[in-house]
Amino acid sequence: MAKDVKVLGPGCKRCDRAVAMAHDAAAQTGVAVTVEKVTDYAAIAGYGIAATPGIVVDGKVVHAGGLPKPEDLARWISG
């Protein structure tokens, strides 16, 4: 089953870059993913983060605020 990756962010430039990075990490590690953008403020806040973009893998928040390191992202997606 494909990993479920969500990028939390109201739609700023960094959020778009985070989405692209998630696709890159998936291609690099060979893991099948579905990447979804969550832009609704209430939904974002529901994950308990305080800074965007946030990244959620299979329902678990792994990152919040700024862009993650590519190697960290690859580890979260393949882990």
Partner 1 sequence: MAVAHALRPPSPLPWLAATVAGLVVWAALYSQLVPFSDWLVSLLPVERHSHLGEAIAFFFYDVPKVLLLLTLVVFAMGVVRSFFSPERTRALLAGRHEGIGNVMAASLGIVTPFCSCSAVPLFIGFVSAGVPLGVTFSFLIAAPMVNEIALGLLFALLGWKVALTYLGFGLGIAIVAGWVIGKLKLEAWLEPWVLAIHAGAVALPEATQTWPDRIRAGLEAVREIVGRVWYWIIAGIAAGALIHGYAPEELLASIMGKEAWWSVPAAVVIGIPMYSNAAGIIPVVDALLGKGAALGTVLAFMMSVIALSLPEMIILRKVLSLKLIAVFVGVVGTGILAVGFLFNLLFA
Query: Is residue 20 near partner 1 by the rule CB under 8 A?
Result: no
- Subset of residues 34 to 73 that bind partner 1, contact rule: CB under 8 A: 41-42, 44-52, 54, 61-66, 69, 72
Q: What is the DSSP letter of 9?
A: -
Asked if 17 interacts with partner 1 (CB under 8 A), we say no
> In terms of CB distance, is 32 or 50 closer to partner 1?
50
Does 5 help bind partner 1 (rule: CB under 8 A)?
A: no
Element (H, E) at 38: strand 33-38
First-to-last CA distance in the chain?
14
Number of residues assigned to the chain:
79
Q: Residue 35, Cα to own-chain centre: how many angstroms?
A: 8
Q: Which amino acid is at 79?
A: G
The site for partner 1 (CB under 8 A) is made up of 8-12, 14-15, 41-42, 44-52, 54, 61-66, 69, 72
